[in-house]
Amino acid sequence: MSKSDPTSPARLIPQLAFPPYSYVTGKFPHPIRDPQGHLYGHPQRAVARLDPAEWRQCESYRFGIDLFNHGFYWEAHEAWEGVWHAVQRTGDVADFLKGLIKLAAAGVKAREGRAEGVRRHATRARELFLAVSDGNPDAFAGLSLSTLTRLCDMLSAAPQKYLNSSDQPVVVVLPSLT
């Protein structure tokens, strides 16, 4: 999928530009540490806490969804990790964010061509989503917990189906969150 593909998910934060590439270890410059990286030398943005009832107010959370849905898994991981830190890394909101972080890590492993990493991260993400849902499949912070757990089940059951070790700047290999 490309940015101009009409089947691409709608953007939640269209005013924020996507990076020029989706980072994959050994294939592209590290975004932060390498002088050629797309975030090198950029100041860190302030990150707001995520309130699940007011999730639209948390720009970093919504941008993480955009990044994930368009194949920027490492970058989605980073966006959600900032929000995870902002909620003090404890409680249901933190566990939900950690589940998203693990799901994004599964996407990174898929782009690296590592099936076991996809399976391991998807399995852990599922555990976190189930703990947050406590059997309730309703939406949490705008996303369906039952859809997220089904996505994790698909990845865990057949991780090799999602592998893509391409050197392309952006490859969407996982189903969208929305």
pLDDT tens profile 57-92: 999 999 999 999 999 999 999 999 999 999 999 999
**Two tokens at 51?**
């309130």
Burial class of residue 50, CB neighbours in 10 A (0-12, 13-18, 19+) = buried
| Spatial distance between the Cα atoms of 34 and 40, rounded to a whole number of angstroms | 6
Reported in sequence order, the residue ranges of the chain that DSSP labels E, i.e. its strands, are 139-140, 143-144
The model's confidence at residue 1, banded by pLDDT at 50, 70 and 90, is very low
Which domains, ranges and CATH numbers included, belong to the chain?
A: 52-162 (1.10.3450.10)
The model's confidence at residue 42, banded by pLDDT at 50, 70 and 90, is confident
Which residue in 144, 147, 138, 152 sits closest to 101, CA to CA?
A: 152
Given a cut of 90, whether residue 136 has pLDDT beyond it is no
Given a cut of 70, whether residue 178 has pLDDT beyond it is yes
Residue 87 C-alpha from the chain's centroid: 17
**What's the pTM value of the predicted model, to 2 decimals?**
0.92
Provide the pLDDT for residue 7.
Answer: 72
The values of phi and psi at residue 140, to 5°, are -130, 120
| Spatial distance between the Cα atoms of 155 and 163, rounded to a whole number of angstroms | 10
Provide the pLDDT for residue 121.
Answer: 98
**Do the Cβ atoms of 101 and 80 come closer than 8 Å?**
yes
Which residue in 134, 119, 124, 135 sits closest to 100, CA to CA?
A: 124
**Do the Cβ atoms of 93 and 87 come closer than 8 Å?**
yes
**Do the Cβ atoms of 83 and 91 come closer than 8 Å?**
no
Q: Which amino acid is at 171?
A: V
Query: Mean pLDDT across the stretch 25-47?
Result: 88
- 3-state class percentages of the chain: helix first, strand second, coil last, to nearest 5: 50, 0, 50
